[in-house]
Structure 1
Amino acid sequence: MRVHRGSPVETSTRARSRKKGRRLWVAGAVALSLPLGLTLAGSGTAAPSAADGIDAQQYEDQFLELYDKIKDPANGYFSPEGIPYHAVETLIVEAPDHGHETTSEAYSYLIWLEAQYGQVTGDWGPFNDSWALMEEYMIPGAVDQPTNSFYDPSSPATYAPESNDPSNYPAALDGNVPVGDDPLANELSSTYGTDDIYAMHWLQDVDNVYGYGNTPGDPCGNNADGPSFINTFQRGPQESVWETVPHPSCDDFTFGGENGYLDLFTDDAAYATQWRYTNAPDADARAVQAAYWANQWATEQGNQGAVADTVAKAAELGDYLRYSMYDKYFKQVGECVGPTQCPAGNGKNSSQYLMSWYFAWGGALDASAGWAWRIGSSFNHFGYQNPLAAYALSNDSALIPDSPTAGDDWGTSLDRMVEFYRWLQSDEGGIAGGANNSWDGAYAQPPAGTSTFYGMWYDEDPVYHDPPSNEWFGMQAWSMQRLAEYYYESGDALAGEVLDKWVAWVLPEVTVGNGADFAIPSTLSWSGQPDTWNPDNPGDNSDLHVTVASHSQDVGVAGSLANALSFYAAATGDTAAQETAAGLLDALVANSDDLGVATEEERTDFGRFDDEVYVPAGFSGTMPNGDVVEPGSTFESIRSFYHDDPNWPQVEEYLNGGDAPTFTYHRFWAQADIAIALATYTNLFGDEG
């Protein structure tokens, strides 16, 4: 077992008692309730409790109530196949551009939700079923990725530069730019006896609203009923969801233009029908995170065998997830400037040892064509890191993957992730954007004075700029929740240092009022940059600053924040953090309705339904429903199906000069995050004695 920085906190302050599979910190942490009207403003240090003797069991009961609402077929969270939708409601535009699409994120939240259900009830059937559902529908099968056997690890892909503006696409392929060797492919194929990739694609049209119909097992189904692998974002960081052209992951040129949709994105001498998938690493890592806890809880219940097969699959998922560590074109990491000048990587020197924004793989549909490709990503966002998953994949014997180098890779990655958080921590405590190994996605020269982390450049808002990827507080809650879990399990001193400062920054920004009233940070504003990283003498980042520009009642983020604070309080005995967690949970439950937990949202961004989608001159094609794709097309014009949505009149009125529409959304991930946080509180603080 790897030993990381520092030893766990002494047992005199972190004594652990196990009762029926629950962890209870018995020193310094008191279960609390909040009187109505209390405003919480913490400092990250222990404070007198607001009220002693609360029965934390209430939160577990509320977990079961919310779980039943989520799983009730009448409430609309799931498709007929049992796939979780992005949201119950259909007219919603976020990363998915329709509510009845889904993401790998949603599948991972389902797996986590069912792991928590197993902890509470001892029934592990739903957990195993959720993994099987994900494997059936969101991991492309062999028939969906048919030409992997032709993949050449010494030539992973042909280089094409990225651009900061969609109007600079399609991007020209350039075979003269050297690319590095893929050090994983042969090891993985040898370990698992297949050239196929065991990883989730990120986006699925569950109800086949677009009509591409490439159901798993029938990769070019063409209007077949059922879930369809699709993609949207392809054209650099300025391409918001409002500027995308949705297209099939399997493009046989049935739809789009003469070359399907390929020549919207890539400039090539000739085009071939092909398949291609993109992985969102944070989702696969969340599934591993859930499997880790499932294994822990089932073992505590004396029932480890009930989850053993699924946990083994999670280890395999983690094995392939290592592709997220690599530079996009497997180039050498550090001071990588110039497409032709930056050296091609060899072995593991193209690994960033962080979880980047994506990895992708594809190939020819025609088996006789004989080609396939794989790429990583050069952009690393703090919000995607998952130290708990890395800890599991490098320390837990049930989850260390079978490939010979996987455990060591994840151990190195774990250390690198925790350092990454410390490098990006602002003077106030918030965690800044990230780093990249390819400036502007084209291995360009960054501005003079740009600070670095192991030779990668500081990137204030990596991956997307509209809106900036560093401004949503949800990334803070999601990522610090994982770090808090890791700290709870390991006692890693550097993780504790980061969390101490982060919690001290967050608590004064959280308010809990009467009943359903609460507010948490929403939009963040950043300035400056961190000091260049020196692992032996980290800087104080006195030039890196964050302010909270606005607050909101985002229920999903509030659930994640409560979860993070619960784990932190359990690890440290910090009663201010525990009070805040309990107060947020009480406020969330007070916002319950028949479908779950929700608050009303004003959507001024829906004015962008009229945004023009860039289509290059000379391109003319159609969507499956006949919507024309050509220069001048808009988000709305290539999605005319929205006109039939029952909520469309509110948007149409807004587009015609009326008031911004308001909706009450029930996002699956948000409901799951809240439910998990409720059960977590009882698991950590519930005294059954």
Structure 2
Amino acid sequence: MKLVILLLAVLASTQAGVYLDRFKEQYKKIHDASNGYFSKEGVPYHSIETLVVEAPDHGHETTSEAYSYYLWLEAVNGYVTGDFSSFNEAFANLEKYIIPSYQPTLGGYNPSSPATYADEKDTPNEYPSALETGVPVGQDPLFNELKSTYGDAFIYAMHWMLDVDNVYGFGNTQGQCEAGPSASGPSLINTFQRGPEESVWRTIPQPTCDTFKYGGTNGFLDLFVGDNSYTQQWKYTAAPDADARAVQAAFWAVQWAKEKNALSQISDTVSKIAKMGDYLRYSLFDKYFKKVGDCVGKNACPGGSGKDSAHYLISWYFAWGGAMPDHGNWAWIIGDGAAHFGYQNPLAAYALSNVDELKPKSSSAVEDWATSLARQLELYEYLQTPEGAFAGGVTNSWKGRYDTPDSNLTKDTFHGLFYDWEPVYHDPPSNRWYGMQSWSTDRLAQYYYVTKDATVEPILKKWTAWAMDNIILENGDFQMPDHLVWDGVPPEIHVKVDIHTHEIGTASATARTLAYWAAASGDTAAKDFAKQLLDALYKYADTKGITIPETPDMYNRFEEPVYVPSGWTGTYPNGDVIDSTATFIKIRSFFKDDPDWSKIEKILAGGDIPEFEFHRFWAQTDVAIAFGTYGILFDE
């Protein structure tokens, strides 16, 4: 009898099955030090390879997105092994390196005057954008509540980007400002501040602490904001979908730890992630806390009070910063009026409003997240096309400056928010990539699996049918939709698939979406389709993960001009000069030492873009999680 009990205990603690075995295989590759997914500090790189230009402009940067996937990976590993210590370790690394510890003057923040207004412009060459003190802004209803709850003036959220190897040399390591190229440890870094046409190829990366040591006379500040004088300052930006994914990962960690009688292992970590969810509410508010709904005219649209500046959707970003301690005692916080459907996370909103272990401590947080959950579900319905896919998003601030939208966008608004088929960025259009579909619908399917919310069933049924109709599965191989083309406005928006590709991460995310939908609905066709997708992916396994050669369609842009105002001159820590002759590669000369640079030289000499192999952390972990999820749901 004792032997039987022992065997049952072993079986319970270490799960087995074809797809769980594939999870373990992929997990082992990701954690194999020789494969290079992590830095010496244990920080997950965006990619093993360094010559990677996407949202991060170097493969050995990382993002809050990567960290959120790391947490999710370790939550699945906790289910498989019964040991959740790696989940705790992942969060400890996240907290150490990407939640900014240096916020010295946030105590000087005035929630009655959150920030000074500045227009968002259409193109980078319209910057810097002047600060306008006369434009009304609203009141921040969160700061005092959060300060009272946690006892300090601090934003407990992930900054979105780390220069893990300090390639730029700013040396904005935790607790240090511009320590320079010799600084050890990951460096916090900023980029993207000049409107929707500022693709990665047109950016001017900057430090998170700008003490005017690098850049020009005023550091980098006067490239972005027009003012009479400039103050040395620190500033951070959150990508809220990543913080929400961290909450989502914690939700599953809680469920699985309960199954394994191991909840006590992760209770401290989960309470910290609940705290992150408390601060994540800044993503639910208009950029300048203006009143939400029919907000047209920057001077005419009033500032909000209380929660009437909340749209309750997970927006593209929120940001905060302030003066360096010797240069003033003031700070600012902004939200964002634009919300992309691809960033919504109903499972996170459900967890923060319904799961005891993840309910934030602030008095109004649970109510806010309950409202957000309902609003997010409405948004999916509002943006769903007759075909099944979801259109872009909505905004409270047309063109980022409260302009008057076209008349056809004012007829059927969403709680007074205007439809935008490409919210936030246009190069490339933000809803062209199919991955937004699989990312967001996966969360919706997880929410449905957990709650069986009947309002979600017809939405998912339509989307999964569209996805299966537009994915090519032939001879054990696959092609995913990639570029989507949109036409019309709500309630008549239509979508077509323009280009198909071998996209690893979107294939695994779609398989996981279909698996959750099948497990909840009994749709056997979706279950079989998910299995076929995962089996097709597994055929591309190599020693480092799942890899399919690809041709990056924008890798002919290394010599693209980067706008710098005439007469403005500055330098990077390595001596690269920033002036009106700047190009992407001129201000990133370090790429010329990259082992793959010869491929770029051939492109710039007029050759075709060759194939590259990339092992992106998010995609490799997404594959592992998809294997694990299918195994959890269906392996016997």
Regarding TM over 0.5, the answer is: yes
Q: Deviations over 1:314-354 (max 9, x none)?
A: 11000000000000000000000111110110000000000
Determine the structure 1 residue equivalent to 2:324.
365
Q: Which amino acid aligns with 1:554?
A: E
**1:274-423 alignment runs, 5 A limit:** 274-367=233-326, 369-423=328-382
Q: Which amino acid aligns with 2:142?
A: L
Instruction: Give the counterpart of 1:162 among 109, 114, 120.
Output: 120
Determine the structure 2 residue equivalent to 1:455.
416
Determine the structure 2 residue equivalent to 1:536.
none
**1:18-167 alignment runs, 5 A limit:** 57-141=17-101, 144-167=102-125
Determine the structure 2 residue equivalent to 1:252.
211
Determine the structure 2 residue equivalent to 1:637.
586
3-state DSSP of counterpart to 1:344? coil
Instruction: Give the counterpart of 2:518 among 548, 564, 569.
Output: 569
Instruction: Give the counterpart of 1:433 among 384, 392, 401.
Output: 392
Q: Deviations over 1:336-389 (max 9, x none)?
A: 011111011000000000000000000011245111000000110000000000
Report the Cα offset of residue 220 of structure 1.
2.9
Q: Deviations over 1:442-489 (max 9, x none)?
A: 111101121310000000100000000011000000000000000001
CA contact (8 A) 2:14 2:81 kept: no
Give the distance between the partners of 1:406 and 1:218, measured in 2 at CA.
32
Determine the structure 2 residue equivalent to 1:38.
none
Report the Cα offset of residue 22 of structure 1.
12
Task: Say if 2:543 is the partner of 1:611.
Answer: no
Report the Cα offset of residue 624 of structure 1.
1.0
Report the Cα offset of residue 513 of structure 1.
2.9
Task: Say if 2:143 is the partner of 1:185.
Answer: yes
3-state DSSP of counterpart to 2:234? strand
3-state DSSP of counterpart to 2:531? helix
Give the distance between the partners of 2:184 and 2:317, measured in 1 at CA.
28
Give the distance between the partners of 2:347 and 2:313, measured in 1 at CA.
13
Q: Deviations over 1:142-190 (max 9, x none)?
A: xx11101000000000000001111110000000011000000000000
Task: Say if 2:437 is the partner of 1:476.
Answer: yes
Give the distance between the partners of 1:495 and 1:163, measured in 2 at CA.
37
| Long gaps (5+) in structure 2 | 1-10
Q: Which amino acid aligns with 2:501?
A: S
Instruction: Give the counterpart of 1:664 among 608, 613, 620.
Output: 613
CA RMSD of aligned residues (A): 1.3
**1:474-513 alignment runs, 5 A limit:** 474-513=435-474
CA contact (8 A) 1:22 1:684 kept: no
Determine the structure 2 residue equivalent to 1:598.
547
3-state DSSP of counterpart to 2:399? coil
Give the distance between the partners of 2:545 and 2:357, measured in 1 at CA.
35
| Long gaps (5+) in structure 1 | 1-18, 24-55, 532-542
Give the distance between the partners of 1:203 and 1:513, measured in 2 at CA.
39
Determine the structure 1 residue equivalent to 2:8.
none
State the structure with bigger RCO (CA 8 A, min sep 6), 1 or 2. Answer: 1
CA contact (8 A) 2:18 2:635 kept: no
Q: Which amino acid aligns with 1:651?
A: I
Determine the structure 1 residue equivalent to 2:170.
212
Give the distance between the partners of 1:199 and 1:284, measured in 2 at CA.
7
Determine the structure 2 residue equivalent to 1:540.
none
Give the distance between the partners of 1:519 and 1:183, measured in 2 at CA.
47
CA contact (8 A) 2:14 2:82 kept: no
Report the Cα offset of residue 661 of structure 1.
2.1
> Which moved further from structure 2: 365-374 or 239-248?
365-374
Report the Cα offset of residue 222 of structure 1.
2.1
CA contact (8 A) 2:161 2:190 kept: yes
CA contact (8 A) 1:391 1:411 kept: yes
Give the distance between the partners of 1:576 and 1:510, measured in 2 at CA.
14
CA contact (8 A) 2:135 2:298 kept: yes
Determine the structure 2 residue equivalent to 1:51.
none
Q: Which amino acid aligns with 1:465?
A: H
Determine the structure 2 residue equivalent to 1:195.
153
CA contact (8 A) 1:604 1:661 kept: no
Q: Which amino acid aligns with 1:188?
A: L
Task: Say if 2:505 is the partner of 1:556.
Answer: yes
Report the Cα offset of residue 20 of structure 1.
5.1
Give the distance between the partners of 2:297 and 2:198, measured in 1 at CA.
24
Q: Deviations over 1:62-87 (max 9, x none)?
A: 10011000000000000000000000
> Which moved further from structure 2: 276-285 or 365-374?
365-374
3-state DSSP of counterpart to 1:524? strand
Give the distance between the partners of 2:38 and 2:96, measured in 1 at CA.
15
Report the Cα offset of residue 219 of structure 1.
2.9
| Structure 1 segments (4+ residues) deviating >2 Å | 19-23, 511-515
> Which moved further from structure 2: 362-371 or 567-576?
362-371
Report the Cα offset of residue 491 of structure 1.
1.1
Give the distance between the partners of 1:439 and 1:94, measured in 2 at CA.
26
Taking every aligned residue pair, what percent have the same amino acid on both sides? Answer: 57
Q: Which amino acid aligns with 1:65?
A: E
CA contact (8 A) 1:602 1:662 kept: yes
Give the distance between the partners of 1:605 and 1:71, measured in 2 at CA.
30
